[in-house]
Amino acid sequence: MRAAPTPSEAFLPIYLIAIRRLYDETVSIVGQAAGGDWAFHVSGGRLCLDFANTISWRRSERPIERLQTFRDLVSWARQAGLVRDREAARLLREANQRPAGGGLLLRTALQLREVIFRVFVRISQGEPPLEEDLASLNHWIARSLPHARLVPLLEGFAWSWTPTRDPLAPVLWSVVRSAAELLTSSDLRRVRQCAGSSCRWLFMDTTRNRSRRWCDMAVCGNRAKSARHYYLSRR
């Protein structure tokens, strides 16, 4: 049985509604990684933006939360390169032993994500972040900085974190550091918001003339292109 049109679909032709829904379902199926985990998109250009983009179709009446469980959060961290497979497996074992702790970490992560999203959405619109969001981000920075350290590599050095009881704290600290680095970078003016009618993903526009419109041409770009093609073909 076909679902009733949502408010944003109310004035669209039936064929276009069908196209949109079929495309959304296809993207959802393709997005499943091996083992059933969602294959997170990493098209934002910065770690903090990719983290903010862990909700799909934010502009729609049916946004999809991709971090529904602690397992999802660990999966994102693994796919983002913040934890290795062995460490991810250990985190999941510990979460199974202490489910309340995993739930608290997930809620904390989601709160941080929404702060980062609101900060960079306003910046993408040419507006300053809200004072309370900037204060929250500063609080996170103050919590993470005492744990930062430099570790030697074969060539040069890299940032790392001191050991902590909270298994995913270094993951969130890395996201916070990414946000702070972007906010203090000359690249900040390149933060954009996807022009997709149902999207709100954030990304870095690295094009020379700053003309990028879509979070990912393979997702929102093709979605808009298909809709336009069908619309023109039926005029």
| Total domains in the fold of the chain | 1
Q: What is the maximal distance between C-alpha atoms in the chain? A: 63
- Find all residues with CB under 8 Å of 156, minimum gap 6, and list them: none
Neighbours of 160 (CB within 10 A): 12
In a domain, 36, yes or no: no
User: What CATH number does the domain containing 101 carry?
Assistant: 1.10.3300.10
pLDDT in tens, 13-65: 454 444 444 444 444 444 545 457 889 988 899 999 999 999 999 988 899 99
Q: Greater confidence, 23 or 110? A: 110
Instruction: Give domain status of residue 156, yes or no.
Output: yes
Tokens of 92: 């999941």
Residue 210 is assigned to a structural domain of this protein: yes
pLDDT tens for each residue of 69-103: 999 999 999 999 999 999 999 989 988 888 888 88
- Does a structural domain hold residue 142? yes
Tokens of 2: 């076909």
Residue 220: partners with Cβ closer than 8 Å, 6 or more residues away: 194, 195, 196, 199, 201, 214
* Dist. CA 189–CA 167, nearest whole Å: 34
Distance CA 220, CA 213 (A): 9
* pLDDT for the residue 79: 95
At 169, which helix (H) or strand (E)? Answer: helix 169-183
In total, the chain counts a number of residues equal to 235
Query: DSSP characters for 110-154?
Result: HHHHHHHHHHHHHHHTT-PPPHHHHHHHHHHHHHHGGGEEEEE-S
CA nearest neighbour of 168 among 228, 100, 92: 92
Whether residue 112 is contained in a domain is answered as: yes
Q: What are phi and psi of 59, to 5 degrees?
A: -80, -10
What are the contacts of 103-106 at 24+ separation with CB within 8 A?
103/70, 105/70, 105/73, 105/166, 105/167, 105/168, 106/67, 106/69, 106/70, 106/73
Question: Domain residues for 170?
Answer: 41-233
pLDDT of residue 235: 58
Whether 21 maps to a domain, the answer reads no
Q: CB of 202 within 8 A of CB of 48? A: no
pLDDT > 90 in the chain, percent? 56
Measure the CA–CA gap between 38 and 54, rounded to whole angstroms: 10
